A and B are shown apart, each in its own frame.
Chain A
Amino acid sequence: MPPGIWSGTLSFGLVAVPVRMVSATRDLDVRFHQVDAETGERVQIRRFCEAEDKEVAWEDIGRGYDLDGQLVTLTDDELEAAAPERTHTIEIEEFVNLDEIDPAQFDHPYYLVPSSESEGTTRAYQLLRDAMASTNQAAIGRVVLRSNEYLVAVREHDELLALTTMLFADELRDSETIDAVPTGSSGEPKRGEVTEAAKLIDAMTRDFDAASYEDHYRERLLELVDSKRRSKKKRAKLPEVEVAEPEAAPDLMAALRQSLERARADQ
């Protein structure tokens, strides 16, 4: 059970639902810690003030911002003043059609779970969840996490209220500003080519099964750890994987047709 990150109230009109926020992801990355190669002892990070070369306690550390050459320092408490009202409330500002939101704006996913077992709470929770599911709407609001305000979208997922923090529109680069994205009527693909490519795509299509994909990187790191533990040697090496770099096909149509034949033969 992941720890709660935030708890407060989700409010929707005059309906208030006390909820707890938990991460919808778990960190399965292979994590290393730093050690001293000579003694094997673990490294501990200590914070030093560069001005006086003295160790500084955590509570004596603040946040510094360089404002046109002037260093401004704020305490965490002072920073809270930037969002006093919203610290423990997610107020739903409006609902939007879920399909209209570009998923690129979604940042980190969380779930909201009712924070009490009282009937009032669990029913209000279900009500909001079911009303959004039946209308395919997502609720848009804001929340303050670790003294940063986030725009959030709340929707129904897996019988829960799922919340995702969002990037603001100006934090997402418009692909129209990327010159390397080819556009314009002159280079438009021919209908026959698109049809052929669509056929190839269809022939290579299957249902999405998230569980069928394994994290090779994680597996290989764990393999490395394991081989090192067993061999006790100074160096462990995984077999190198040779991969041939493919070359661009000169004739697109021929490449599409050839691929299609192969994809159909594989099925």
Chain B
Amino acid sequence: MWNGTVAFGEVVFPVKLYSIVQERRVRFREVHLADGGKIAHRRFGSESGEEIPGDRIRKAYEISEGNQVLLDDEEIAAARGPNTKVIGIEHFVPADQIDPLYYDKPYVLGAQDGGEHAYRVLHAALDKTGKVGIGRFMLRTREQLVALGAHEQALRLYTMRFADQIVSSGDLEMPALSRKPTARELAMAERLVETLEQTWEPARYEDRHRQAVMALIEQKAKGEELQVPEVREPEETPDLIAALEASLAGRPRRRKAAAGTGKGPLRDATKPKSKPKASSR
């Protein structure tokens, strides 16, 4: 998707960048329910109510209410900065100092012809030192801050969020936390965590919802009426110790099998047990 070079110190080698995210969510488009007609988005003047032809549309930035600056695409493009094809590594940091909150989108680098050797040397050295390189480059229309590290056999690159984009606990209105849990409660909770501990196997989790949505679509295609479920209200735990004890004793709702096969809950998805009401459509 992108060809360029990685530069750190005097070492420069040619690379290719690959997106590794391929979303599989069921995608819908907007339709008019009455006749299934496609929905078109048309642009109108908010005051005049008149339709505006496409060539008259500009981007504007609102400085204050009623005070805006119009910008054209060339001006915005110029502000993007130099469109170099270089991922310039400015320095390295220990990988474990970066909280995953800073990572935005993941990519993988491949080597272009002639770059394989330097690629593998950098990969091995990053792997050995546990460090990641921090740099910047222009990806599509925007300069990105990126982290480059070794992941399995590949150089993994993440675009990064800036510190001021991350909300911290001090920014949130938190209810005053009451007295701390007791040592006994904490010990019990830790035991409960341990009883539910699993080895992380990402492939065990299926997107049951994707399957359920597809099942709904097929049902509807056959002309079946869909049931609209009602939602239960959340309840809080009246007695923390009793709930912990009961959880430890019963270890209820262990759903290892369900997570793996995606069966049980999926089958129920279109037949809710709570009072169903008929869909309006």
Which one of A118, A135, A188 lies within 8 Å of B194 (CB-CB)?
A135
Interfacial residues of chain A within 81-105, with CB under 8 A of chain B in the complex: 81-85, 87-89, 91-97, 100-105
Convert A106-147 into 0s and 1s, putting 1 for each residue whose CB lies closer than 8 angstroms to a CB of B: 100101011011111111111110111011010010101000
Q: A120–B161 contact, CB under 8 A?
A: no
Cβ A189 vs Cβ B200 within 8 A = no
With CB as the reference atom, state the residue of chain A lying closest to B4: A245
Contact A35 B236 (CB under 8 A): no
Would you give the shortest CB distance from A84 to chain B, in whole angstroms? 3
Nearest chain A residue, comparing its CB with the CB of B212: A82
The contact of B119 among A48, A50, A65, A182, by CB within 8 Å, is A182
CA distance A120 to B208 in the complex (A): 33
B43 touches A262 (CB 8 A): no
Instruction: Find B151's partner among A70, A74, A175, A197 (CB 8 Å cutoff).
Output: A175
Report B218 CB to chain A, min CB distance, Å.
7
CB <8 Å contact, A35 and B69: no
Given contacts A43-B45, A94-B196, A246-B7, contact A78 B207 (CB under 8 A): no
Contacting residues, chain A, for B246 (C-beta < 8 A): 13-14
Nearest CB in chain A to that of B24: its residue: A171
Given contacts A72-B220, A113-B174, A217-B142, 6 further A-B contacts (CB under 8 A): A16-B234, A34-B58, A91-B253, A149-B208, A207-B94, A214-B162
A206 to B90, CA, bound (A): 10
Q: Tell me whether A9 and B235 are in contact (CB under 8 A).
A: yes
Contact A102-B129, Cβ < 8 Å, known A32-B60, A42-B46, A181-B110:
no
Give which listed residue, A23, A34, A49, contacts B38 with CB less than 8 A: A49
- B121 lies within 8 A of A248 (CB): no
Answer whether A216 and B101 are a contact pair too, CB < 8 Å, given A34-B59, A81-B228, A206-B93.
Answer: no
CA distance A245 to B86 in the complex (A): 7
Interface set, chain B 145-195, CB cutoff 8 A to A: 145, 151-156, 158, 160-169, 171-181, 185-186, 189-190, 192-194
